[in-house]
């Protein structure tokens, strides 16, 4: 089979590998779509992920072959994959925080991922894709799930106000989740015009290319926003977030960067602001995300800007997505 092998910073090449053969509790899936995630882009840009391997954890496909002990599924079933492989035994797994499991392996991180024609995964990772969801929308659930995890962690309430910094995939899903969760006012900020235009289709109360305190406060009120979601990974915006959050409010940090940054501790102490980090989601969030898409409460369509063949994954995928004026948001690879 054809695969895209990651070999470190700015190095991915197309190589042939033997087709996977399932172990007794595994299934082999013909991959139809795999999304390029922000974390995949980060590894490609920085070489941060140390191992050679096949990336890609946002996967939808069709079951091709079953291991000898897999009974509940049949060849031809349409499925999506929860890439997490929590150990089930550690402190966090027992508390239900499986996204914090001390085990590090996941599909596309340590185990071969979805930038390949076929993938083998443990049976427990596969989830049936409802008929109401088209194939190309079958890859977005961990991103919606991350937004759900964020809203739960901060105990989001009807009538709360929100600012979302960064309209990448997670920001755009958060915007939609805030709408259906009863946010009274929503401001979004994104410097890339293409992304801002997509955001406007989901009707935020205000969409800006940069942080403008008077304009934001005109919408969310003089005290500032109840919650500010930092989804851009831009260091300047973290301090801006502290400025536009109301006292006793939340800054929710979802964007990532590889170097330490300076923040104003005084501001966050004096205003009694909580900074809440969010990484990934639980199985429960993942499955609820599927339901929201199936019921058409969340729409992935405007966020998916391109579907490309595996052969073009470097030029039209990774390189295109990291170029500064990209019009890409979510790129799907169709192996």
Residues found near Zn ion in the complex (CB under 5 A): 37, 86-87, 90, 93, 101
Backbone φ and ψ of 197, nearest 5°: -65, -40
Distance from C-alpha of 59 to C-alpha of 129, rounded to nearest angstrom? 11
Structure-token match 């997670």, residue found: 170
Structure-token match 């049936």, residue found: 128
| Closest by Cα among 167, 116, 83 to 2 | 116
Query: Hey, which residues does 63 pair with through a beta bridge?
Result: 29
Distance from C-alpha of 327 to C-alpha of 234, rounded to nearest angstrom? 18
Distances (CA, A) of 268 to 5, 74, 188, 278: 43, 54, 22, 18
Distance from C-alpha of 285 to C-alpha of 134, rounded to nearest angstrom? 20
Three-state secondary structure call for residue 210: coil
Rounded to 5°, the CA angle 276-160-185 comes to: 115
Give the pair of three-digit tokens for residue 220: 């969310």
Q: How many C-alpha atoms does 33 have within 13 Å on its Cβ side? A: 21
Query: Hey, which residues does 145 pair with through a beta bridge?
Result: none
């Amino acid at each position: 089979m054809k695969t895209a092998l990651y070999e470190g910073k700015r190095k991915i090449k197309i190589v042939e590998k033997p087709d996977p053969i399932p172990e007794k509790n595994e299934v082999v899936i013909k991959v139809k779509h795999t999304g390029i995630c922000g974390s995949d882009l980060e590894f490609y840009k920085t070489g941060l992920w140390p191992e050679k391997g096949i990336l890609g954890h946002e996967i939808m496909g069709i079951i091709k072959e079953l291991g000898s002990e897999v009974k509940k599924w049949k060849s031809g079933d349409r499925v999506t994959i929860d890439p997490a492989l929590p150990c089930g035994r550690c402190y966090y797994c027992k508390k239900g925080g499986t996204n914090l499991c001390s085990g590090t392996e996941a599909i596309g991180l340590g185990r071969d991922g979805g930038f390949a024609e076929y993938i083998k995964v443990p049976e427990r990772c596969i989830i049936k894709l409802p008929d109401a969801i088209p194939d190309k929308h079958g890859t977005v659930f961990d991103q919606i799930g991350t937004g759900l995890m964020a809203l739960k962690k901060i105990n989001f309430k009807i009538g709360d106000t929100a600012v979302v910094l960064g309209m990448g995939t997670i920001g755009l899903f958060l915007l939609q989740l805030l709408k259906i969760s009863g946010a009274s006012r929503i401001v979004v900020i994104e410097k890339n015009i293409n992304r801002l235009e997509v955001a406007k289709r989901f009707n935020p109360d205000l969409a800006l290319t940069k942080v403008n305190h008077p304009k934001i406060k005109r919408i969310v009120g003089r005290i500032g926003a109840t919650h500010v979601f930092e989804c851009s990974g831009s260091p300047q915006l973290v301090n801006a977030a502290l400025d536009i959050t109301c006292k006793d409010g939340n800054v929710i940090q979802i964007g990532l960067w590889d170097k330490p940054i300076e923040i104003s501790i005084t501001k966050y102490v004096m205003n009694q602001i909580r900074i809440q980090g969010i990484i990934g989601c639980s199985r429960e969030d993942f499955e609820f995300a599927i339901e929201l898409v199936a019921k058409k409460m969340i729409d992935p369509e405007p966020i998916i800007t391109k579907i490309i063949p595996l052969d073009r994954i470097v030029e039209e995928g990774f390189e295109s997505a990291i170029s500064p004026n990209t019009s890409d948001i979510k790129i799907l690879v169709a192996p």
